Amino acid sequence: SGTVFALDIEPSILRASQVRAKSLRLTNIEYIVRDFVSDGSGLPDGVADYAMLFNILHTDEPVELLCEALRNVRPAGRIGVIHWNYDPETPRGPPMEIRPRPRDCERWAEAAGLNCGRVIDLPPYHYGYLLSPVTN
C-alpha cells in the first residue's frame, strides 16, 4: 500500500521498472529520474516508511546519502542498505579500492545517526543492513 518512489539517474532503468510493474499490474509507483548522489531525493521530510540504498554507498559522501535517506523516513522508519561483498571474485560492482567493507557501512550509519544491527549475508554477491533512526 502507499506510494513507492523509484529514483534512478538512468532513465532506461526506470523504463525497465515501469514495464515490469505494468506486467504485474502495480500502479502505486512514482518514477523519478534524479541524481540522488548530487541532488538528494527531492522528497519531503518523513514521507516514507522505508528507504533503500542499493549499491550506492561507494560515493565520495556516503554519510550525506544516509542522512538524506534518514530525512525521508518517518521517525519509526527503516533504511535498508545493500552493497557488493568486498571480494574481487564478484562479477560486477565498483572497483575494490572504493568498494565499502561492512565496517565502513557501520561507521557511516553511526555518523548519520542510525542504529546499525548485524550484517545480513545476501549471497552470492551482497551483504546488507537494516538501519533505524537513533532515538534519544
pLDDT in tens, 25-59: 999 999 999 999 999 999 999 999 999 999 999 99
pLDDT tens digit string along 73-92?
999 999 999 999 999 999 88
CA distance 53 to 66: 8
Residue with the three cell numbers 561507494:
58
Beta bridge partners of 8: 33
